[in-house]
Amino acid sequence: MAPVNHSETKCRLIGRLPKVGIRPVIDGRERGVRESLEVQCMQMARRAAKLIEENIFFGSGQAVECVISDTPIGGVAEAAMCADKFKREGVEVSLTVTPCWCYGT
């Protein structure tokens, strides 16, 4: 029996590949608290996405794609906007990042 050449095998996937959603969560209190965390939190989300996209691959060899919330999530309205975006983009799993130790729970 000849060895299998995996480069010649066909991809059996039907449909689109799932994406990873990154949810940057912050303390929603305004007047300096939220504002002081927004940049740091979004940077955390971008670094997490980069780490995943550069190191996690599907069986086909294609890199996993990440989708990041448009804004940090500090309340119900932002969480709903993020959920809507993730649904439109085909996100099947999410990761929450936060510089605030207790808000991730």
pLDDT single digits (tens) 24-33: 998 766 776 6
Does 3 score more than 60 pLDDT? no
pLDDT at residue 70, as a whole number: 96
Q: Position of tokens 């969480």?
A: 79
> What pLDDT score was predicted for residue 80?
97
pLDDT digits (tens, 9 = 90+) for 40-55: 899 999 999 999 999 9
Q: What integer pLDDT is reported at residue 30 of this predicted model?
A: 72
Q: How confident is the model at residue 4 (pLDDT cuts 50, 70, 90)?
A: very low
| Residue 67 main-chain phi, psi, to 5 deg | -125, 130
| 17-97 CATH | 3.40.50.1070
pLDDT at 102 exceeding the cut of 50: yes
Mean pLDDT of the chain: 84
Q: What six digits make up the tokens of 38?
A: 């927004």
> How much is the average pLDDT of 85-98?
95
Q: What is the pLDDT of residue 11?
A: 61
Q: How many CA atoms lie within 13 A of 28 on its CB side?
A: 11
